[in-house]
Amino acid sequence: MAGPRVEVDGGIMEGGGQILRVSTALSCLLGLPLRVQKIRAGRSTPGLSFGGWKSKMKVLVGPQHLSGLEMIRDLCDGQLEGAEIGSTEIMFTPEKIKGGVHTADTKTAGSVCLLMQVSMPCVLFAACPSELRLKGGTNAEMAPQIDYTAMVFKPIVEKFGFTFNCDIKMRGYYPKGGGEVIVRMSPVKQLSPINLTDRGCVTKIYGRAFVAGVLPFKVAKDMAAAAVRCIRKEIRDLYVNIQPVQEPKDQAFGNGNGIIIIAETSTGCLFAGSSLGKRGVNADKVGIEAAEMLLANLRHGGAVDEYLQDQLIIFMALASGISRIKTGPVTLHTQTAIHFAEQLAKAKFTVKKSEDEEDASKDTYIIECQGIGMTNPNL
């Protein structure tokens, strides 16, 4: 699997974790030796940082990048150089993707969902079924919550023509992590393209507001009630069903609270708003933040929400044929994913303002991709 090493600038655009995830996954899939330089060059502390607080924004970053890189290396028996905390350059040489059981542990509240994002496309093209045992934070800041992955990402990404099972063994929260999710999936010969452009109308809104550990159940009820009140102001004719949940002691590690609210449409589109509690932030505020995020995602007229757009790019690039998704404003994460899918996989993307009349007054876009039609050499 030799060939010239592809050079990737890790400091451009979104800079950081996403560039590592997209480029190493594509490198693994396409058998392209890779060098990523200037990792996180645009950030306040360059390099693969380790779960430290970042400036005033208090963003938890780090260990999941490292465990994600190690996981990709192990998935294909590849070679990885420079993957340590503080490193600004890594070199990765992939070999053949293999199925079977793989474990990745961020040892912190680093997100298991980000580990899933980097590993899933790869194991779809393995020789046999895979079981990914992912440990870390299931409901962590700056990453999708596991509930989002299970309730929104899963049903939509399965439209590419594969299925996976996501078993939440233990939930884990900031700062300790300690969660575990087991993902099981079988390989595919090829991915089908998707068309998510017809948004339909919202038919139901539901969700879960959870507390875990020492937090009182009243917090879950207050988050749910505040979210319902907020949604009611804008959407009056639908029943909003947000369940307050006390996470069982044997299924949650540490203390945490949060909420996810999902809107489903007549054409099967799914949108979400979510928020996590933080020390000193009252429950109403957490509920309202999630409700406002959901409402903002419903206003832009797209058929996917702002958190799904970038997660679909790598699958669109690998699929056979033309995929189209309608989105609201294209996020920097999505622009970054497109850039590297074009650079590494040679997929062709176009991003155009939607020409539909009902979108005229809105910030709505069509992302189209001519996928490369990757086929699984093992099947």
Please list the active-site residues.
Answer: 333
167 is in an annotated binding site: no
Look-up of token digits 């809105």: 362
Task: Say how far apart CA 110 and CA 173 lie, in whole Å.
Answer: 9
Query: Which 3 state secondary structure label does DSSP give 192?
Result: coil
Task: Say how far apart CA 188 and CA 372 lie, in whole Å.
Answer: 15
Q: Are 118 and 91 in contact, with CB atoms under 8 Å apart? A: no
Task: Say how far apart CA 183 and CA 181 lie, in whole Å.
Answer: 6
Q: Indicate the DSSP class of residue 105.
A: E
Cα Dmax for the chain? 60
Closest CA to 280 of 254, 262, 257, 247: 257
Q: What residues form DSSP beta bridges with 109?
A: none
For every residue of 344-357, DSSP letters joined together read HH--EEEEEE---G
Alpha helices in the chain (DSSP H): 17-30, 63-75, 112-123, 146-148, 154-157, 217-234, 283-299, 309-318, 332-345
132 is in an annotated binding site: no
310 is in an annotated binding site: yes
Q: Are 362 and 301 in contact, with CB atoms under 8 Å apart? A: yes
CA distances from 182 to 67, 135, 169, 224 (A): 16, 9, 7, 28
Non-local CB neighbours of 260 within 8 Å, separated by 6+ positions = 145, 147, 148, 151, 207, 208, 272, 273, 274, 290
Look-up of token digits 């895979």: 130
117 is in an annotated binding site: yes
Strands 195-196 vs 252-253: parallel, antiparallel or unpaired: unpaired
Binding site per annotation, positions: 117, 307-311
Binding site per annotation, positions for ATP: 117, 307-311
